[in-house]
Amino acid sequence: MNADLVVVGSGLFGLTVAERAANELGLKVAIIDRRHHIGGNAYSEREDRTGIEVHRYGAHLFHTSNERVWEYVNRFTEFTGYVHKVYTRHQGEVFPMPINLGTINQFFRGAYSPGEARALIQEQAGELAGTDPQNLNDKGIQLIGRPLYEAFIKHYTAKQWQTSPEELPASIITRLPVRYTYDNRYFNDKYEGLPVDGYTAWLERMAAQPNIEVHLNTDFFDDSQEFSKANVVGQVPVVYTGPVDRYFDYAEGDLSWRTIDLEEEVLEIEDFQGCSVMNYPDADVPFTRIHEFRHFHPERDYTKDATVIMREFSRFAEKGDEPYYPVNTSVDRQKLLKYRDLAAGESSVLFGGRLGTYKYLDMHMAIGAALSMFDNKIAPHFSGGNKIESGGIDA
């Protein structure tokens, strides 16, 4: 085996670890991925008919306030000046999101000042003031009042989780942001944008190093291939970014995940909705949102004869589905404790990324966590001889 380090999964976490190990330490790194492409869920490609860049696994928006992460990613790509703004279509009317002064004035057909709007929401939220809500529904009402909650949050959340908000824990929404200005930027981070040449070009540059070999269509659990779990664990250090329960063959039970189904359509018009993302919070609409990808790159000279949209449906993942988001129930957390103990008993295996740690991580968070793993685990081992303490799962 011609590798000093094996990285399982070529998402942003795995690519960051591999790139640092190859460029900073001169290690020979083998990246394996069961998919036919690198980049994990951040992978994008041009739609054949229109040439419009499509995010194959749902919209990915890069944003961060982490100076180190921002400096790092700019080594591989420049970013556009794109600022993400979301709109929501409720009962045949379009409102700006997140809830802001514009949303409030439009919804209540008023012209409230910031102070007046704040007082209005406080009054409506007073319905459950002084109580200790135990479910998401009551917590949402306590935070922003019943009218706004039921219009924009209740049914959207039910579709996302495929569960009534009355049955979801209040901890899911510890806060609901309301801006008492007309600022409808979706993110508050210092830096924001989309990679100028697209996500795949960025990710391919991270792997474009002579010491990195990428093996696609390669399953870590297929013992017939060189870099299988049976062949590498205990032989070389491994960074594993796949589902943690799958690593242990579900020995402590299946963890719960949410996944999404995406329905793509090419339309014979220049512009379908006038924005990149439109939410659909009403209960009678089965999907949660529609992406229109031409709006992510208005600087590009896309065709005016057609556009690409993608409807997003949310559901619980089953075996064989792509897991996206950890559900993280109390039962899941008990299982994760057991998986954490199993992980600590492995031989030089580090678990990382959203799937490997059973944590929701935005892209910048995954990169930051990978840089920390390199600094604290991988570099000390290869440069200073420190033993790799297996694990990386918190519960």
CB 387 within 8 A of CB 381: yes
* Catalytic member of 289, 294, 340, 354: 289
Catalytic residue list contains 258? yes
CB 235 within 8 A of CB 226: no
SS (H, E, C) the chain: CCCCEEEECCCHHHHHHHHHHHHHHCCCEEEECCCCCCCHHHCEEECCCCCCEEECCCCCCEEECCHHHHHHHCCCCCECCCCCEEEEEECCEEEEECCCHHHHHHHCCCCCCHHHHHHHHHHHHHHHCCCCCCEHHHHHHHHHCHHHHHHHHHHHHHHHHCCCHHHCEHHHHCCCCCCCCCCCECCCCCEEECECCCHHHHHHHHHCCCCEEEECCCCCCCCCCCCCHHHHCCCCCEEECCCHHHHCCCCCCCCCEEEEEEEEEEECCCCCCCCCEEECCCCCCCCCEEEEHHHHCCCCCCCCCCEEEEEEEEEECCCCCCCCEECCCHHHHHHHHHHHHHHHCCCCEEECHHHHHCCCCCHHHHHHHHHHHHHHHHHHHHHHCCCCCCECCCC
User: What is the rounded distance in angstroms from the CA atom of residue 352 to the CA atom of residue 197?
Assistant: 27
* Catalytic member of 45, 47, 189, 362: 362
Catalytic residue list contains 358? no
User: What is the rounded distance in angstroms from the CA atom of residue 164 to the CA atom of residue 140?
Assistant: 13
Strands 212-215 and 238-240: unpaired
Catalytic residue list contains 205? no
On whether the pTM is more than 0.75, the answer is: yes
Catalytic residue list contains 315? no
In sequence order, the 6+-apart residues with CB closer than 8 A to the CB of 48 are none
Please give the backbone phi and psi of residue 95, each rounded to the nearest 5 degrees, phi first: -120, 150
User: What is the rounded distance in angstroms from the CA atom of residue 158 to the CA atom of residue 150?
Assistant: 11
* Catalytic member of 71, 166, 341, 360: 360
Catalytic residue list contains 289? yes
* Catalytic member of 48, 109, 132, 175: 175
User: What is the rounded distance in angstroms from the CA atom of residue 228 to the CA atom of residue 231?
Assistant: 5
Q: Which residue, 190, 160, 179, is CA-closest to 96?
A: 179
Q: Which residue, 44, 9, 43, 60, is CA-closest to 364?
A: 60
Q: Which residue, 393, 385, 353, is CA-closest to 370?
A: 353
Taken in order of first residue, the domains within the chain and their CATH numbers are 5-45+195-255+327-384 (3.40.50.720), 99-172 (1.10.3110)
**Amino acid at site 45:** E
* Catalytic member of 312, 346, 354, 358: 312
* Residue-by-residue pLDDT tens, the chain, 395 positions: 789 999 999 999 999 999 999 999 999 999 999 999 999 999 999 999 999 999 999 999 999 999 999 999 999 999 999 999 999 999 999 999 999 999 999 999 999 999 999 999 999 999 988 899 989 999 999 999 999 999 999 999 999 988 899 988 888 887 788 999 999 999 999 999 999 999 999 999 999 999 999 999 999 999 999 999 999 999 999 999 999 999 999 999 999 999 999 999 999 999 999 999 999 999 999 999 999 999 999 999 999 999 999 999 999 999 889 899 898 888 999 999 999 999 999 999 999 999 999 998 999 999 999 999 999 999 999 998 999 999 988 75
User: What is the rounded distance in angstroms from the CA atom of residue 365 to the CA atom of residue 203?
Assistant: 16
* Catalytic member of 179, 294, 340, 354: 179
Q: Is cis: bond before 98, omega within 30 of 0?
A: yes
pLDDT at 327: 86
pLDDT at 175: 75
* Catalytic member of 258, 311, 315, 322: 258
C-alpha torsion sign, points 23, 25, 27, 32: negative
